[in-house]
Amino acid sequence: MSRLFGTDGVRGIANSELTPELAFNLGKAGAYVLSKNQQRPIVLIAKDTRVSGDMLEDAISAGILAMGGNVIKVGVLPTPAIAYLVKYYKADAGVVISASHNPFEYNGIKFFNSEGFKLDDEIEDEIEDIIIRNIDVNSHITGDKLGRCLEAEDNALSLYADFLKGTMGMSLKGMKLVIDCANGAAYKVGEKVFKELGAEVVTIFNKPDGININCGCGSTHPEMLQKTVLKHNADLGLAFDGDADRLIAIDEKGRIIDGDKVILICTKMLKSMNQLAKNKVTVTVMSNIGFHLAAKEIGCNVETTQVGDRYVLESMLKTGSQIGGEQSGHIIFLNHTTTGDGILSALQLIKAIKMLNKKPSELSDEIVIYPQILKNAKIKNENKKKYIDDPEISKEIKKVEEMMAEEGRVLIRPSGTEPLVRVMIEGKNIEIITGLAEKLADLLEKRFG
């Protein structure tokens, strides 16, 4: 059986791969593993707007209750809200039911511990082992030992909104913003936060119906947001994904400001305030070489990790870096929270725009994003990692890097799911790097295909 947990929880097509039975078992096993020292653990549960959210919420709740745990359902809220609220309510764990930027037919379940961090691999493995081996962890829980659904003492959405506003420290009066809520988890709290801070807000894609989440909208489809920014002559556009842990911004000229640029703009702000811890910023191997060159120009040290926000966070906790994230817009401000938060990232970007006293387009143009070419080499699964020790491949990579004279980059990554090795090359000249990528992909296929 393949591993249940991916890089961001358990995901699959709802009621087919991610069934109520699996959700129930995840609830039981999760409550057992995360709360071994608590006779009556408390677990917070939030969800996005997918039609399958109710089914999975009830199923996982039943599993937790069957373990003697109590459940607090806080309704539709962004994933990062649970990371904050689990500490506020002093809960033992948190659960988010969401498949992030995926289409509506998918859903997912991800856990947070009592400190608001996503689970370590070892804890996920323990939960998974219980499910796969069908271990009965609640055979003696009956009668008054069963759990209950509790009412939250305070309004969870308002608590989270107040936390977000508290990270800003300034008014947004005089700013016109367009926000794209992706018909997802930010559809209420997003507009609330920006309006209460004084901004004039135009909101699009904030009428979820259970199936329109991420459909032609949000951080993966910002085209309508770009048009709306120009139509309303807005200062900035902000696009979130289905669970609102990502941000893609749009400048006043209708151009995309991706995660790389948002991270660097906010890094400049922190450096100008002497608040850039360890003078470090953390990104993944997918961040553009233009990011690295711009960071070097302002005297920042870049820590690079493998793809996945969990690996970014692990590195940040080890090195003391306070800001890090991914090109996709998943950005962590560790001085404020423990996970990526699209709304918080938007607030920090606006703060940077105000403090650096430049228009979004001016700040964006200070970072030159280099053209990127991706070619797939068809490789047998058993050969996907052999290129690492191959002298001919190493020689060719070195040759390409020397040709680009530190103004380009080669990245080779085996696919995790397909018989492919991906060749990515960045450089100034699109035609040159296209030819180099094709040549390198052909060589990989010839040697290992």
CA angle 140/146/147 to nearest 5° reads 140
One domain, residues 241 and 388: no
The residue from 302, 337, 365 where one domain ends is: 365
One domain, residues 431 and 328: no
The residue from 133, 155, 177 where one domain ends is: 155
Residue 162 lies in a domain: no
One domain, residues 185 and 306: yes
How far apart CA 368 and CA 116 sit, in angstroms, is 35
Q: Look at residue 21 in the predicted model and tell me its pLDDT.
A: 97
One domain, residues 151 and 43: yes
Residue 161 lies in a domain: no
Q: Write the CATH number for 399.
A: 3.30.310.50
Q: Catalytic: which of 100, 219, 315, 328?
A: 100
Residue 429 lies in a domain: yes
How far apart CA 26 and CA 33 sit, in angstroms, is 10
Mean pLDDT by 10 residues, the chain (449 residues): 72 95 95 78 96 98 94 97 95 95 95 91 90 84 90 88 96 97 98 98 98 97 98 98 97 98 98 94 93 94 91 95 96 96 98 97 95 91 85 89 84 82 91 94 90
The residue from 122, 155, 188 where one domain ends is: 155
Residue 91 lies in a domain: yes
Q: Write the CATH number for 238.
A: 3.40.120.10
Domain count along the chain:
3
One domain, residues 202 and 150: no
Does the annotation mark 100 as catalytic? Answer: yes
Contact partners, residue 148, CB within 8 Å, separation at least 6: 65, 70, 71
Residue 160 lies in a domain: no
One domain, residues 229 and 250: yes
One domain, residues 113 and 128: yes
Q: DSSP alpha helices (H): ranges in 145-285? A: 156-166, 189-196, 223-231, 259-272
Residue 163 lies in a domain: no
Of 246, 249, 266, 409, the closest CA to residue 328 belongs to 246
One domain, residues 197 and 233: yes
DSSP letter string over 7-49? TTEEEEEBTTTB-HHHHHHHHHHHHHHHTTT-SS-EEEEEE-S
One domain, residues 142 and 172: no
Of 68, 62, 21, the closest CA to residue 45 belongs to 62
Cβ atoms 147, 141 nearer than 8 A: no
Residue 220, domain extent: 168-365
Fill in the amino acid letter for 392.
E
One domain, residues 148 and 172: no
pTM confidence score: 0.90
One domain, residues 381 and 351: no
Residue 89 lies in a domain: yes
One domain, residues 355 and 212: yes
Of 162, 115, 27, the closest CA to residue 339 belongs to 115
Residue 311 lies in a domain: yes
